[in-house]
Amino acid sequence: MGAFPAHPENSETGRSLLDPFGRGITYLRVSVTDRCDFRCVYCMSEDMAFLPKRDLLTLEELDRICSAFVDRGVRKLRITGGEPLVRRDIMTLFGSLSRHLDSGALDELTVTTNGSQLARHARDLAACGVKRINVSIDTLDADKFRRITRWGDLTKVLQGLDAAQNAGLKVKINTVALKGVNEDEIVSLLEWAHGRGMDLTLIEVMPLGEIDGQRIDQFLPLSLVRARLAERYRLEDLADRTGGPARYVRVKETSGRLGFITPMTHNFCESCNRVRLTCTGQLFMCLGQEDAADLRAPVRASESNELLERAIVDAIARKPKGHDFIIDRRHARPALSRHMSVTGG
Ligand code: SAM
């Protein structure tokens, strides 16, 4: 049972959310903090200014909004950030949301993490019904790991991975492909991940937020990575789709699954089933657009969920068809001013 009582108006079911293009919204990603204990060079600048605590949704408010979405047909919740596992008492939220797994209203509760706090939390996550997690690792070289994350300790992350697997969590590794940084390591990352029974997903760097460098210098098209891998491995296309941007192949030689997230070279919007909530209660209907709906005001305005529900339905009615990111020399500025840590990866 969760720590927070079920909201009285959250008992109705079967009122699914459909956007103007007929896409059912069944997946909510929730950023629970904009803070992180790493400063990955492609994600944040070193001197990030973080939000004052009062602007953040409380854990109870996060639970209420998530539950309102579950009530309207959302079947999958992903907790992300910033680094979600650095938020104080975050396990209370996992504990309370797990009631929707118990009731069958939710298929999956999951998390995307940098792994730094996993050794501490893996068993509790599993106890809350989390079955699979995504862990972001861009290199297996400790020095390079420190350079990419600025503050990260690879040993600690690897201990976290061990703890996660020992707790029975299925792990998928997310790796941002970075030109001249880890492109020579893709094969070893793949062999390592598949050797440990973990899927690997490669991600193209996206133009989100001001960083201390030029995006074009980091951008490595995954079409190139895939072509290189195809010289070495037999890659069999898989039909597995998550409604998200990833396309999967089976690597015949390792029997592992490899995903490609290619927002820059491939548009994936037509099957989009997701929306994203920030830690201040802004609902982004598209990762690649500026439009957002404020859900914090309706949550704080009333104890009943009526205003909140109306705000959610109105927001989904504004979900755009898609986005168009551009990275090139002429577009040196980020396509969007907010960082990935705001909307969550
Ligand atoms: N702290 C958690 C983590 O490290 O996974 C969750 C948040 S992080 C923003 C989620 C994912 O977004 C990570 O895999 C990260 O590498 C990726 N990411 C961050 N900025 C990105 C960017 N500009 N382009 C592509 N991926 C990015």
Between β-strands 76-80 and 108-113, what pairing exists: parallel, antiparallel or unpaired?
parallel
The pLDDT value given to residue 342: 64
What pLDDT score was predicted for residue 125? Answer: 98
Token readout for 101 is: 């797994």
> Is the shortest distance between the CB of 42 and ligand 1 below 6 Å?
yes
Write the residue with the smallest CA distance to atom 10 of ligand 1.
345
Q: Is 258 helix (H, G, I), strand (E, B) or coil?
A: strand
**Residue 154 main-chain phi, psi, to 5 deg:** -60, -40
Residue 206: the pLDDT is 80
CA distance 277 to 78: 10
- For residue 36, give every residue at least 6 positions away whose Cβ sits within 8 Å of its Cβ, in sequence order, or none: 43, 44, 81, 82, 83, 86, 114, 341
Per-residue burial over 80-119, b = 16 or more CB atoms within 10 Å of its CB, e = otherwise: bbbbbbbbeebbbbbbbbbbbbeeebbeebbbbbbbbbbb
**pLDDT value for 322:** 85
127 Cα–ligand 1 center, Å? 26
Q: Nearest 5°: phi and psi at 111?
A: -145, 145
Regions of the chain short of the pLDDT cut 70? 1-14, 207-211, 213-216, 242-243, 264-268, 324-345
Nearest residue (by CA) to ligand 1, atom 1, is: 83
Q: Is 59 exposed, middle or buried (0-12, 13-18, 19+ CB in 10 A)?
A: buried
What separation in Å is there between the alpha carbon of 193 and the centre of ligand 1? 18
Which residue is listed with tokens 């459909």?
A: 18
Q: Which of 29, 31, 42 to mutate to test the pocket of ligand 1 (most atoms within 8 A of CB)?
A: 42
- With vertex at residue 299, the alpha carbon angle to CA 304 and CA 104, rounded to the nearest 5 degrees, is 70
* Nearest Cα residue to atom 12 of ligand 1: 345
User: What is the torsion angle, in degrees rounded to the nearest 10, for the CA atoms of residue 113, residue 66, residue 130 and residue 285?
Assistant: -50
What pLDDT is stored for residue 338 in this prediction? 67
Sign of the torsion angle spanned by Cα atoms 248, 250, 256, 262: negative
Distance 80 CA to ligand 1 centre (A): 9
pTM comes to 0.91
Burial pattern 172-206, b for ≥16 Cβ within 10 A else e, equals: bbbbbbbeebbeebbeebbbebbeeebbbbbbbbb
Q: Report CA(14)–ligand 1 centroid distance (Å).
A: 33
Ligand 1 centroid to Cα of residue 341, in Å, is 7
Distance between CA atoms of 70 and 77, rounded to whole angstroms?
9
Is any atom of ligand 1 closer than 6 Å to the C-beta of 281?
no
Is the distance from the beta carbon of residue 206 to the nearest atom of ligand 1 less than 6 Å?
Answer: yes
DSSP annotation of 134: E
Provide the 10 A C-beta neighbour count for residue 240: 13
pLDDT at 130: 98
Residue 164: closest CA among 85, 260, 245: 85
Measuring from atom 25 of ligand 1, which residue has the nearest CA?
A: 205
Q: Which residue type, as a one-letter code, is found at position 43? A: C
Ligand 1 geometric centre to CA of 11 (Å)? 34
Distance from the alpha carbon of residue 114 to the mean position of ligand 1, in angstroms: 9
Q: What is the DSSP letter of 255?
A: T
Determine which residue's CA is closest to atom 17 belonging to ligand 1.
345
Closest-CA residue, ligand 1 atom 8, reads: 345
* Any atom of ligand 1 within 6 Å of the Cβ of 43: yes
> Closest Cα to residue 82, out of 316, 345, 267?
345
* Tokens standing for residue 199: 């899927």
Q: Is 336 in the pocket of ligand 1 (CB under 6 A)?
A: no
Rounded Cα distance between 206 and 212, Å, is: 14
Structural tokens at position 138: 């861009």
Res 112: pLDDT: 98
Do residues 68 and 307 touch, judged by C-beta distance below 8 A? no
CA-nearest of 88, 26, 100 to 63 is: 100
Q: What is the pLDDT of residue 202?
A: 97
CB 205 near ligand 1, within 6 Å: yes
> What's the pLDDT at 13?
43
Lookup: tokens for 15: 């009122």
Q: Does the Cβ of 273 fall within 6 Å of ligand 1?
A: no
For a mutational test of ligand 1's pocket, the pick from 203, 214, 337, i.e. the residue with the most ligand atoms closer than 8 A to its C-beta, is 203
Within 292-339, residue ranges assigned H as helices are 296-301, 306-316
